[in-house]
Chain A
Amino acid sequence: MLDTLKLPERHYLNNGHGLKSWLLTKDHKRIAIMYLISISVMFLIGGLFAAAVRVELMTPEGDLFLADTYNKMFTMHGVVMVFFFLIPSTPAVLGNFLIPPMIGAKDLAFPRINLLSLYLLWVGAAFFFYALFAGGVDTGWTFYTPFSSSASNSNVVPTALGAFISGFSSILTGLNFIVTIHRMRAPGLTWFRLPLFVWAHYATSLIQVLGTPVVAITIVMVAVERMFGFAIFDPVRGGDPVLFQHLFWFYSHPAVYIMILPAMGVISEVVSTFSRKTIFGYSFVAFSSLAIAVFGFLVWAHHLFVAGISTYSAMVFSFLSFAVAIPSAVKTFNWAATLYKGAISFETPMLYAYGFFGLFLIGGLTGLFLATLGVDIHVHDTYFVVAHFHYIMVGGAIMGYLGGLHFWWPKLTGRMYSEFFSRISAILVFVGFNLTFFPQFMLGYMGMPRRYHAYPDEFQVLNIMSSAGAAVLGVGYLLPVLYFLWSLKRGEVAGPNPWGASGLEWQMPSPPPTENFKEQPVVHGEPYEYTPHVAREANLV
């Protein structure tokens, strides 16, 4: 049957040609594609900095870079990956593209603001590139004071402004999603019929809107202190450097959930589609997203356990950090229960989902190690922490993003990629990832501190393993670029619903027309109805 499928004659990609039709578009789908290209470029740049770090760490001596240069390498790696890749990734690309069709709408509530948020990301990135070419920045992505405010002589202010401006991009995206989800749902699409992807993005948007302004102002305070000599964080003149850490992590702990929640939304969609079952405990999964958004704001000072906060408050924050793991665990158990007795299969998006389970599990559980006061004193600022957050941000968030990209690629472009190569790349990513980051747990536990370009000889073997793994991981990430590009011209035509999935977005043609739906869709049923007739319509049985 599949060979009789044809691409629709008119769709959002050929509705208007030339650069102007893209740069001035109000179509959420085109904006999503521009986000995709932009953040892919940033991912590549961030990856090059990571490669530089891993090459330096292959030998115990600091022989490739001076200590100062090395500081700049990991700082720019972190800044690019966090502010210009991971925070926009799933929401701005997949959320942007999919939230309107998933709720049966033509576009987001504020299409022009959507375009503005993309431009803001570009402006923020421009500031970052200025800082880069002016000689880089060396404070770490966390901009800790008083180093950033009174000691560092690198380009702190331009980088900070870049992060500040891209923060507004994030706020506007969140605002847009909240209003869209409240106001533009199709008739019959009640809150508890929404796809869990939409719930996850709703929770993410709340964090973006409520948290980002705090970090934005904090960053401005650092800039003001640097430029005009105000004594806000400088202890010599009565300022308080720990105050910076409080304010920074009030946003940045929730921000880690900005990165992981959307990926969790992707996983819910993928898991139910490829086990052909409704999600186990829908409302628990939905509410756990909201719980993460709220509880995520209560735990930030677990980053400050050794920074001099009071023993009493450290105990409270430790306890709350344990509590925040509960909603994540609820999700994980429910996904596992969804797989149970499902007709599970092994297409590429699902391979990424399996990878997500394993890696997110390890990342989340080691978070509990770190939340334990005594253990954290031992492993704080070691490679153990580095491994922890990479297991979640790379192993969880990026696996989810890539899984989603593979899942919806046929919807974005109308064509299929090579299943063979995509499975290979999923496996390379999983193997390469573990080879890179598992040794870092061991290194950290043995006491190797983070952010130094030299280390004692006995750590070399594990560091070489880690660098070798990074090379494998790099290949795993580059492969998709090749077969995705190849698929644009040569890929098999996918048809509207190649996976036989149940969401509204699969009822549009692929690629969809600019207005998404010819007629306003009306929703009659529950989400994730995998009955035999759905599968039959998709030619799967």
Chain B
Amino acid sequence: MSGHVSPKSLYYSIFGALMVLTAITVFAAFLNLGAMNAPLALAIATFKATLVVLFFMHVKYSSRLTKLVVTTSLFFLAILLGEMMMDYATRGLGVIPPPLQ
């Protein structure tokens, strides 16, 4: 295994950051931002996941092959979400309305 050892303090500060972000998520849940509610929660969650992947899972210090694997997975996740949103975002678009009875 790759021998990179990060200082303990780094882990503690990442952990701290995750906790703070959790608190922000909870706080944000009480704000009413209308359509932005879900995007904001997802943005915070994505940022937290990125921290976990980069530091706790050591991807930041891993070989280029490992990074390639991670990027590839994200690419396919993007396909899943992107093409699915393509459907949901365009529902009803270009549909010829039925003739009036």
User: A residues touching B (Cβ–Cβ < 8 Å)?
Assistant: 182, 210-211, 214, 242-243, 246-247, 250, 297-298, 300-301, 309-313, 316-317
B76 engages A313 (CB within 8 Å): no
Min CB distance A211 to B, Å, is: 8
B 40-82 to A, binary, CB cutoff 8 A, 1 in contact else 0 = 0000000000000000000000000100000011001001100
Q: When chains A and B are docked, how far (Å) is the Cα of A247 from the Cα of B92?
A: 21
| Contact of B90 (CB < 8 Å), options: A242, A247, A310 | A310
By beta carbon, the residue of chain A nearest B72 is A210
In the docked arrangement, what's the CA distance between A300 and B82, Å?
Answer: 13
Q: A242-B87, A297-B79, A309-B91 known; 11 other A-B pairs, CB under 8 Å?
A: A211-B76, A214-B80, A246-B84, A298-B79, A300-B83, A310-B87, A310-B88, A310-B90, A311-B90, A312-B86, A316-B86
Q: Which residue of B lies closest to A320 (CB)?
A: B83
Do B94 and A246 touch (CB < 8 A)? no
CA distance A246 to B82 in the complex (A): 12
Interface centre among B65, B72, B87, B88 (most CB of A within 10 A): B87
Chain A interface mostly:
helix
Q: Is the interface of B mostly helix, strand, loop or mixed?
A: helix
A250 / chain B contacts, CB cutoff of 8 Å? 80, 84
A310 to B87 CA separation, bound complex (whole angstroms): 5
Asked whether B87 lies within 8 Å of A313 as measured between CB atoms, the reply is yes
Q: Is B95 an interface residue (CB 8 A)?
A: yes
Query: From residue B81, how far is it (CB to closest CB) to chain A in Å?
Result: 10
Complex CA gap A31/B6 in Å reads 40
B72 smallest CB distance to A (angstroms): 7
Q: From residue A164, how far is it (CB to closest CB) to chain B in Å?
A: 18
B36 beta carbon closer than 8 Å to chain A:
no
**Residues of B with Cβ closer than 8 Å to A?**
65, 72-73, 76, 79-80, 83-84, 86-95
- Residues of A contacting B89 with CB < 8 Å? 310
Partner of A312, one of B80, B84, B93: B93
Contacts of A214 in B (CB 8 A): 80
From B73, B76, B79, B92, A310 is in contact (CB under 8 Å) with: B92
Task: Say yes or no: B94 contacts A313, CB within 8 Å.
Answer: no
Given contacts A210-B73, A297-B76, contact A312 B83 (CB under 8 A): no
Q: What is the bound-complex CA distance between A260 and B92, given in angstroms?
A: 36
Closest to B86 in A: A313
A310 touches B84 (CB 8 A): no
A residues less than 8 Å from B79 (CB atoms): 297-298
Nearest chain A residue, comparing its CB with the CB of B85: A313
A247–B80 Cα gap in the complex (Å)? 8
Bound together, the chains give a CA A210 to CA B80 distance in angstroms of: 11
Of listed A210, A247, A298, residue having the most chain B CB within 10 A = A210
By a CB distance below 8 angstroms, the chain B residues around A247 are 80
B80→A310 contact, CB < 8 A = no
B83 touches A301 (CB 8 A): yes
A214 to B77, CA, bound (A): 10
Instruction: Report the bound CA distance from A246 to B73 in whole Å.
Output: 18
Given contacts A214-B80, A250-B80, A297-B79, contact A312 B94 (CB under 8 A): yes
User: 11 interchain pairs (CB within 8 A)?
Assistant: A210-B76, A214-B80, A309-B91, A310-B88, A310-B93, A310-B94, A311-B93, A311-B95, A312-B93, A313-B90, A316-B83
> Which residues of A have CB within 8 Å of B83?
298, 300-301, 313, 316-317
Chain B residues with Cβ below 8 Å from A313 are 83, 86-87, 90
Q: Take A246-B84, A301-B83 as given contacts and tell me if A312 and B90 are in contact as well, using a CB distance cutoff of 8 Å.
A: yes
The answer for the CA separation of A300 and B79 in the assembled complex, in Å, is: 11
- The answer to whether A310 and B72 touch across the interface, beta carbons within 8 angstroms, is no
Quick one: which of A243, A246, A298, A313 has the most chain B CB within 10 A? A313
Contacts of B65 in A (CB 8 A): 182
Cα distance, A243 to B91, chains bound together (Å):
13
Q: How far is the CB of A201 from chain B (nearest CB, A)?
A: 18
Chain B residues positioned under 8 Å from A210 (CB to CB): 72-73, 76
Q: Chain A contacts of B88 at CB under 8 A?
A: 310
